[in-house]
Amino acid sequence: MDRMSDMQWHRAVRGTLIAILGLSVLVGCVNLEPRQSNINYYVLSDAMTPVEAKADRSAQLPDSLQLVVGLRKIRLAAYLKTPSITTRYGRHEMHFSEFHRWGEDLGDAVSRSIAQSLARRPEIRRVDRVPWPDRTPHDVLVQLRVLRFEGEAPPAARREDRDDEAPTQGSARVAIAWELVDPETEDVWVSGQTDHREDGWPVGEYPALVERLDAALTVVAADIAAQMEAVKGLSASQQ
């Protein structure tokens, strides 16, 4: 009986030592110190500075000749409903970056950027973004659908065995379909699509890509604003 008790005691000690050793290994593998995230977040351009706003206001037309615009919620193509910044390689391959992401909802960011660009123009008094109060009067409503909002690069830029160190040159592409709508009848007055590329993007340089996407949005806003004169005439004829 004593011999059996000694065997049981040795087994218990051995089991305890194994458990302690395993716990030590586990604690050693777990780093409890906070680590800096490798994810980079980006936003589109901020609003105008006060100096820019003052300069723009000084060039405005009388209120009676200006439009009040309502910008509806922007619709995104399905593949853009992700926080990851996207790059298209060739015609069909898409890359969703794990470490470079939008710091805000992309639809809201595009809406803010276009609204700011439109509001700078002298023929526009104000641009309201949804949600606005019920029965807010507008001269025209703007509907947008983002079809493309990404970097573009040749398929060779994805090769892992490339010998050259110079970055491949790509472009930023923005394609947005837009409609100018009668706020009373919901009839579409004018519709169109802006498909614009900003070249000279060093593939993989995400800050440079965001800058070019930002610049492309000003082209979209300019195309929409170019149709405002026609809308102004239609709006005035119904008053």
- Angle between helices 106-119 and 206-226 in degrees, nearest 10: 50
Alpha-carbon torsion (179, 182, 188, 191), positive or negative: negative
For strand 67-71 and strand 40-42, is the pairing parallel, antiparallel, or unpaired?
unpaired
At 155, is the secondary structure helix, strand, or coil?
A: helix
> Is the pLDDT reported for residue 1 higher than 90?
no
Q: Which residue has the higher pLDDT, 235 or 232?
A: 232
pLDDT bin (cut points 50, 70, 90) of residue 218 is very high
pLDDT bin (cut points 50, 70, 90) of residue 17 is low
pLDDT at 51: 40
pLDDT at 39: 94
Please write the tens of the pLDDT for every residue from 138-188.
999 999 999 999 999 998 887 554 555 667 899 999 999 999 999 999 999
How many C-beta atoms lie closer than 10 Å to residue 124's C-beta? Answer: 22
Phi and psi at residue 46, to the nearest 5°: -80, 180
Return all residues near 86 (Cβ < 8 A) that are at least 6 apart. 79, 80, 94, 95, 96, 97, 149, 150, 151
CA angle 104, 107, 113 (to 5 degrees): 85
Span 36-57, average pLDDT = 66
Average pLDDT of every residue of the chain: 82
Q: Is the pTM of this model over 0.85?
A: no
pLDDT at 27: 47
How far is it, in rounded angstroms, from Cα 215 to Cα 204?
18
Span 82-91, average pLDDT = 95
Q: Which domains does the chain have, with CATH numbers?
A: 34-43+67-157+165-237 (3.40.50.10610)
Tokens 């193509």 belong to: 77
pLDDT bin (cut points 50, 70, 90) of residue 45 is confident
Phi and psi at residue 209, to the nearest 5°: -65, -45
Provide the CA 222 distance to its chain's centre, in angstroms: 19
- Closest to 117 measured CA to CA, from 187, 189, 190, 174: 174
pLDDT at 116: 94
